Amino acid sequence: MVRQRSAKPLFAGSIPAVASNLRIAAPAGFTFLPTVESHGWYLLAPFRWSRKEKVLRRPEVLDGLVVDLEVRFRRGSIDAGVSSSGFDAALLRDRIVRMLQLDVDTAEFAELARSSPAHEWVAGAGFGRLLCGTTLFEDAVKIIATTNTTWRQTVRMVELLVEKCGVRSKSGFAAFPQPADIVRFSVDELQRDCRLGYRAKSIHQLAAGVASGTIDLAEVSEASQTTEGLFRSYRTLPGVGPYGAAHLLAMDGRHDFIAVDSEFRRFVRETYHRGRKVSDAAMLRRYSKWGRWKYLAYWSELWKSVAERLQPEAGGDK
């Protein structure tokens, strides 16, 4: 069971007032709740998800302006309530598109899933898009925070990092820190105060590289690359190995590579091999028939088995 501890002020809940709205037409087949709850990102700061209200909240930095967002799905459109006027609407639109993978077409995956007994629920549930951070930098940092640790520790590490380094909105919530916000602190400070362990060095290196311009994330993630080339490109980022690169690809809507970790091995052994130890290659062959949807095929199986266990802790605006 995941318990998300909070250091946030008690007075802060929904945004104090909506100064502006941004509406984005959703693609055909888009479903809001399954996208938000597609994996554990909705439990990581600065996201605050109210399942009861079906509202996803977070503060966001837009060209130096920190605004509070309330994101809903209404009548076929994404409705983003913003606590301030004068923000860069085009930039916010791009970030919401990324966050909800509105530019990812999952129709082929849904069609393939209909012919698989273990996946036939996918099309009806609208599962297939993954919740992402609003920037590649946010996702890379969060993925680093998932390596060689428990999920409970990941939740706490990310929360502490956001609280220590993030700039606060008028409601009192901290936005995900910009690279320059992180490099204001030493590796030792991040390690001590955010409980990042050895990950503090990689996160600091990544932030310093982006802040100084020696790491160009736009170049690293250039969409014209082949999936194999993009996989190699992501592996050049500090702290990102094959597991992390596969996750970052999935957040681009590319599911050709499965992120092999202890959870993948456990799940496949218990689900298909009666707990017997088998090679990684044998496990991966089980999903080869899914082609470019391998990771999503595996993830939909795993997530269906674990998602409900999170709900008692994820039901409110935490």
Query: Can you list the domains of the chain with their CATH numbers?
Result: 20-125 (3.30.310.20), 136-239 (1.10.340.30), 262-308 (no CATH)
Among 57, 127, 69, smallest CA distance to 93 is for: 69
Digit-coded pLDDT (tens) for 241-283: 999 999 999 999 999 999 899 989 999 999 999 999 999 999 9
% of the chain exceeding 70 in pLDDT: 91
Q: What is the pTM of this model?
A: 0.90
CA–CA dist 201, 203 (Å, integer): 6
Q: What is the pLDDT of residue 51?
A: 94
State the DSSP string of 117-166.
Answer: TTTTHHHHHT-------SSHHHHHHHHHTTTTS-HHHHHHHHHHHHHHHP
pLDDT tens column, 28-62: 889 999 999 999 999 999 999 999 999 999 999 99
Q: How many CB atoms lie within 10 A of CB 79?
A: 16
Name the stretches of the chain with pLDDT < 70.
1-18, 307-318
pLDDT of the residue at 11? 36
**How high is the pLDDT of residue 27?**
94
